[in-house]
Amino acid sequence: MYYWYTSEPAEECGSYIQQDGYNIGCKFTKDKIREFVNFHVHRIGINGSESVFPPNQTFQLQDQVKPNPPANLTVNAMANSSISLTWEAPMIPRCLQYEIKYRSNKDKDWQTEYCNEQTKFTLPSVNPDDLYVFCVRSKINDFCGLSHLWSKWSSHIYWGEIITGYSQSFGRRDLLLNKQLCP
């Protein structure tokens, strides 16, 4: 595989990523990565044969970013019967947008909210007798790139009454055993 930026000579990949003896990607050092500039790639097929992919492709690297999931979710009760969900951004917060999924033990369907840049979501008017579950994922917002790649979902976090028996939506077994409850 060869790569180059517009108006620069092509370079061969210096550190291939391999799987089953085949080169499937290339590792780049930080000094080789430039944003908002066309990045060209020329792939060579196995043993010099034709590739099933187009031999030449052009990207802008900021459009190929898949962030890590948000971390350290916390939920706090507010004085006005609302709850506040906060999390840590996996990278520069101003470049991210978030999708928040939540539901209570009385809800069949997930509710979805979106927010840009801020790492906080407030759910107004909650029932203190219900159990709520939240999870968050992130992606690069349109101000910093055109990536359509969402992160994986964060670990889920609960707020509310502890379930001691089985309920319709998610029961005790889910609370104790399910490590990835979010969609």
DSSP run (H or E) holding 173? helix 172-177
Pairing of strands 71-77, 111-116: unpaired
Number of domains in the chain: 2
**Residue 138: what are its φ and ψ, rounded to 5°?**
-135, 160
Alpha-carbon distance values, 94 to 90, 117, 145 (Å) = 11, 5, 12
Nearest to 180 by CA among 152, 139, 143: 152
pLDDT digit string (tens) for the chain, length 183 residues: 888 898 889 989 999 999 998 888 888 888 888 888 888 888 776 555 555 566 788 888 888 888 999 999 999 988 888 999 999 998 888 899 999 999 999 888 999 999 988 999 999 988 888 999 999 999 999 888 888 899 999 999 999 876 554 444 444 333 333 334 566
The answer to whether 16 and 7 are in contact (CB under 8 A) is no
Distance CA 52, CA 54 (A): 7
From 49, 64, 79, the end of a domain falls on 64
Structural tokens at position 53: 């992919």
Question: Is 30 in the same domain as 60?
Answer: yes
Last residue of a domain, one of 64, 89, 113: 64
Are 28 and 46 contacting, i.e. CB atoms less than 8 angstroms apart?
Answer: no
- Mark whether 162 and 106 lie in a shared domain: yes
For residue 87, give both structure tokens: 């999390």
Global pTM reads 0.72
**Same-domain check for residues 84 and 170:** yes
DSSP assignment of 151-168: PPPPPPEEEEPPP-S--S
Q: Residue 127 belongs to what domain range?
A: 71-177
Burial 43-74 (b: 16+ CB within 10 A, else e): beeeeeeeeeeeeeeeeebbbebebebbeebe
Residues 6+ apart with CB under 8 A from 48: none
DSSP 44-105: --GGG---SS-SEEEEEGGGG--PPPPEEEEEEE-TTS-EEEEEE-SS-GGGEEEEEEEEET
59 lies in the same domain as 97: no
